[in-house]
Amino acid sequence: MTRVTRRQFLATAAALGAAPLWAGKKSRSSPAATSRERRDLYPEGVASGDPQPDSVLLWTRRPYDTGARGQLLVEVAKDDAFKHVIASTHAAVSAASDWTCRVLAGNLEPATVYWYRFTDETGQTSRVGRTITAPAESDPRPVKFAFISCQNANDGSQHAYRRMIFEDERAPQAERLGFVLHLGDFIYEIVWYPEDRPEGMYDRKLRDIVRYEHGEKIEDFHIPTTLDDYRSVYRAYLHDPDLQDARARWPFVPMWDNHEFSWRGWQSFQVFDSATRPQQTRKVAAMQAWFEYQPARIRKSSGPSLESFDAPKVVNAPITRFDPHGLGNEPNNLTALGSLTGYRAMRWGRHVELIITDQRSYRSEDPTSRPEAQDFSSKDFPELVPQEVYEILDAGRIYAGGKPPDTIPFGNKQVANFRKSDPPQTILGAVQKAWFLNRLKTSTATWKVWGNTTGTLDFRADPKNLPKGLTTPWPGAGYAAGFGAGDHSTAYVERAEIYSFVRGEGITGFATVAGDRHSFWAGLAAETLPPKAFDPIGIAFVCGSISAPGVVEALEHKFPKEHPLRALYLAQPPGTTKPQPAVNMLLRHGVRSCLEYHKSGDVERARRLSNPDLAPHLSFLDLGGHGYATVRASADTWECEFVCIPRPVEHVARRDGGPLLYRVVHRTPLWKKGERPQLEQRVMEGNPILSL
């Protein structure tokens, strides 16, 4: 590694909007009094982010009651008692950035634990934070990290973090986590106030932690409309002690998903009540709040202020013209999207290059969210849509070599192909995709890790194999896809473009880690599934949510009791009293297995009826799992561990974060060019029988 000069470092800090802090060679003891820790004055705690071998971002929030500005002393030490302080500086906080503070600490040693804290003018200090620099690029040691997503503090508890902390504290030094990759839905901007749903949300009671001053009520929930509204969600969430302790223990590498801006949002659009509305002002507000609360090496467009975001001015203008990749050309849209650029790549030692992409800001409209797509859903087949429908809609005008059909058969109907003249769907957008492919190609790390906030593994079912007479005939030609789609699992054209690039360039060690689905998934990345060729080129994983409800919980509450296909989603074998998540078996083994399991409760017998062509890409899935995932990436092996906790309905105050439901490890030896990646599965604790 070539060491960064002080001058280069100052320029980097300025570009990130962070105060620079250059570590010296000698250490000294701290002038700040350790006894005057006042966590109440720093109510959102401390955090660090995006470590590199020689630098890391530090963060806190210190709101002052009076005045518009304040100044904090920032110290970095080699010990948590601050006897060996190696750097200190002053950084401003101001009302303009909601009293948040970003500091880039530089000239640090690689793969080293540091401690940091903030002290105000009256000598009152924040809690002490711990952070870790990345190993140098030549470092051959294994890299360990966690990936997580989807924490909903309104209707769940965040004690999955407590379990992560507990296990990390007990791990040998070399096996501790180097960082936490947060793949989005750090906040949920849609908020039900307790009075909106007195019966609660599924299994949960609603917590009264967010009230929007300028919120807009849609149906029975509320959304933020201003910068202050967005900020208020971050503050409320960061008051959670488990989350706050996690941010004080590890550097986070955060990326936004949809809920940091808007549930069904894309580019600067919000979609509610089947209406798509341009909301450039809200997109900028969402990006500003993210910038203020997430220390990360992201690029803001507003110039080199170290303290504030300086939001670009935009208005909510109609977006009616799109470029050939579906990007709205309207100037306010482009300005809003450009206000913060989140996609980036970072390196940990010899083995990990993390390439993080933004799935929301540049994507074209999701065809499945269009009102016309409703014509392809059927109450007889909940959540299932013929795969060929998704393929035709995704490809638009390039389907079948540029000869898309005018209509798409759906049962006895012919439905208009409303995407016939449109370009194929893109989730990354043209500019980001070119950057992404180039990073994949040029990376020299053993493992090229795609931090994709959304999942890539196909959801499939085989309703065509249902016994005659059970329900109406399946309206599709072959397999069903579904369960919401809208991610890379139904962006077939773009996903195939990426995967065939990986194959064509001979890239090995391609591993995707994702969130968003509120479920655990482990599998192989392949362009196509049977009856087409199945030829995987990588491995792919999705982590369960920290706390947001998953599909199984929703099915338990909403799936009709008398539906003829209930056993495919929620099985209830003889002698059992509670429905079981057969939907996992449906997507992994198919309808025959589910019907058998419901009838006999014999899982072995049910698996013997597995449809081998349905999901050769899947090793594991649990649409009801919560918790976190860890990765250990070494010179020759990738190991991904799923740590699943019971549904986090109520807070668990135990030091270990409460019991586990299961712990499952998937292990992959590094494959050579032209070889097929393989996943080995080991269930270490618990028995997630319907997930295997």
Please list every residue from 182 through 201 that binds Fe ion, using CB under 5 A.
185
Binding marks (x or -) toward Fe ion, 499..538, rule CB under 5 A? ----------------------------------------
Task: Classify the C-alpha dihedral 222-226-229-230 as positive or negative.
Answer: positive
CB of 545 to Fe ion, least distance (A): 6
Minimum CB separation of residue 548 from Fe ion in Å reads 5
**Hey, which residues between 537 and 566 contact Fe ion (CB under 5 A)?**
548
- For residue 155, which amino acid is it? D
CA 59 to chain centroid, in Å, comes to: 21
Choice between 150 and 238, CB closer to Fe ion: 150
* Residue 342 beta carbon to Fe ion: minimum distance, rounded to whole angstroms: 17
515 versus 538: smaller Cβ distance to Fe ion: 515
Shortest Cβ distance from residue 279 to Fe ion (Å)?
20
**CB of 585 vs Fe ion, minimal distance in Å:** 24
Helices and strands, number each (H, E), in the chain: 15, 32
**Residues with Cβ within 8 Å of residue 617, at least 6 apart in sequence:** 457, 458, 523, 524, 525, 526, 529, 534, 536
Of the listed pieces 49-57, 143-151, 318-326, 532-540, which binds Fe ion according to CB under 5 A? Answer: 143-151
Q: How many CA atoms lie less than 13 Å away from 503 in the CB half-sphere?
A: 15
How far lies 621's CA from each of 378, 458, 646, in Å?
Answer: 25, 11, 16
Query: Which CB atom, from 18 or from 548, has the smaller least distance to Fe ion?
Result: 548
Instruction: Kindly state the tokens that stand for 68.
Output: 């518009």
- The distance of closest approach from Cβ of residue 656 to Fe ion in the complex, given in angstroms and rounded to an integer, is 25
Q: Output 185 or 292, the one with its CB closest to Fe ion.
A: 185
The residue within the footprint of Fe ion, chosen from 150, 181, 449, 645 (CB under 5 A), is 150
Least CB distance to Fe ion at residue 197 (A): 18
3-state secondary structure of 374: helix
Binding-site string for Fe ion from residue 98 to residue 137, where x marks contact by CB under 5 A and - marks none: ----------------------------------------
Nearer to Fe ion (CB atom), residue 188 or residue 450 = 188
Quick check: 131 and 104 in contact, CB under 8 A? no
Q: Could you tell me the smallest distance in angstroms from the CB atom of residue 189 to Fe ion?
A: 11
Name the residue nearer to Fe ion (CB basis): 146 or 150.
150
- Distance in Å, CB of 629 to Fe ion, minimum: 15
CB of 524 to Fe ion, least distance (A): 24
Residue from 138, 74, 597, 629 nearest 347 by CA: 138
The residues in 166-185 that bind Fe ion, with binding defined as CB under 5 A, are: 185
Q: Considering the complex, state which of residue 396 and residue 515 has its C-beta at the smaller distance from Fe ion.
A: 515
For residues 515 and 180, is the Cβ–Cβ distance under 8 A? no
Rg (CA), the chain: 25
Start-to-end C-alpha separation, the chain:
43
Name the strand (E) or helix (H) holding 237. helix 227-238
**Integer Cα distance of 611 and 49 in angstroms:** 45
Q: Which is nearer to Fe ion, 484 or 601 (CB)?
A: 484
What residues are paired with 37 via a beta bridge?
125
Stretch that binds Fe ion, among 46-54, 142-150, 293-301, 650-658 (CB under 5 A): 142-150
How far is the C-alpha of 10 from the C-alpha of 6, rounded, in Å? 6
Tokens for 545?
């949510």
The 8-class DSSP code of residue 38 comes to -
How many residues interact with Fe ion (rule CB under 5 A)?
3
By beta-carbon proximity to Fe ion, the closer residue of 185 and 527 is: 185
Segment contacting Fe ion by CB under 5 A, of 149-157, 328-336, 490-498, 527-535: 149-157
Q: What is the DSSP letter of 427?
A: S
**Calpha distance 30→228 (Å, rounded):** 36
- Going by C-alpha positions, the residue among 626, 619, 623, 617 that lies closest to residue 662 is 626
135: left (phi over 0), alpha (psi -120 to 50) or beta: beta
Nearer Cβ to Fe ion, position 256 or 499? Answer: 256
Residues within window 70-99 making contact with Fe ion, judged by CB under 5 A: none
Of 93 and 150, nearer to Fe ion (C-beta) is 150
Closest approach, Cβ 517 to Fe ion, in A, equals 8
**What are the residues binding Fe ion (CB under 5 A)?**
150, 185, 548
